Copies of this chain bind each other. A is one copy, B any other.
Amino acid sequence: MLAELKGMNEECGIFGIWGHADAAQITYYGLHSLQHRGQEGTGIAVSDGKSVKLVKGEGLVTEIYTADAMKELQGGKAAIGHVRYATAGGSGYENVQPLVFHFQTGSLALAHNGNLVNAEQLKGQLEGQGSIFQTSSDTEVLAHLIRRGGTALYKERVKNALSMIKGAFAFLIMTETEMLVALDPNGMRPLSLAKLGDAYVVASETCAFDVVGAEFIRDILPGELLIIDDNGFRSEMYAQSSHQAMCMMEYVYFSRPDSNINGINVHSARKRLGKKLAEEAKIEADVVTGVPDSSISAAIGYAEAAGIPYELGLIKNRYVGRTFIQPSQSLREQGVKMKLSPVRGVVEGKRVIMVDDSIVRGTTSRRIVNMLRDAGATEVHVVISSPPIKNPCFYGIDTSTREELIASDKSIEDIRQIIGADTLTFLSAKGMVEAIGREDGSETGGHCLACFTGKYPTEIYPKQHKEEHEESDALTAKN
Contact = CB atoms under 8 A, between A and B. Distances in A.
Given A134-B132, A267-B311, A341-B210, A334 B257 contact: no
A143, A319, A346, most chain B CB atoms within 10 A: A319
A268 B271 CA distance: 23
As for how many copies of this chain the complex holds, the number is 4
A259 to B, nearest CB: 8
Given A134-B134, A268-B346, A258 B315 contact: yes
A interface bracket (residues with beta carbon within 8 Å of B) = 35 or more
Contacts of A391: none
Interface in A141-174: 143-144, 147-150
B127 A210 contact: no
A318 interface: yes
Enumerate the 5 nearest inter-chain pairs by beta-carbon distance, A residue then B residue, closest first: A213-B335, A265-B345, A258-B343, A130-B148, A35-B319
A321 interface: yes
Interface in A83-115: 93, 101-105
B104 A123 contact: yes
A137 to B, nearest CB: 12
Given A32-B317, A207-B341, 16 more contacts: A33-B341, A35-B318, A35-B319, A102-B136, A104-B123, A131-B131, A132-B132, A132-B143, A134-B134, A210-B342, A213-B335, A258-B342, A260-B344, A265-B345, A271-B311, A304-B310
Given A62-B320, A132-B143, A67 B325 contact: yes
Interface string A298-312: 001000100001111
Interface in A280-316: 293, 296-297, 300, 304, 309-312, 315
Nearest to A144: B132
Contacts of A143: 132
Interface stretch (A2-10, A20-28, A178-186, A420-428): A20-28
Given A130-B131, A345-B268, A207 B315 contact: yes
A197 interface: yes
Looking at A268, A304, A322, A335, the one whose CB has the most chain B CB atoms below 10 A away is A335
Contacts of A104: 120, 123-124, 127
A478 interface: no
A26 B336 contact: yes
Interface in A233-257: 256-257
30 contacts: A26-B331, A29-B327, A32-B317, A62-B320, A62-B325, A66-B323, A70-B325, A102-B136, A104-B120, A104-B127, A130-B150, A132-B132, A132-B134, A196-B334, A210-B344, A210-B375, A212-B335, A212-B336, A212-B337, A258-B342, A258-B343, A258-B345, A264-B345, A265-B344, A265-B345, A267-B312, A267-B343, A268-B346, A293-B318, A297-B312
Given A325-B70, A335-B213, A319 B258 contact: no
A268 B309 CA distance: 12
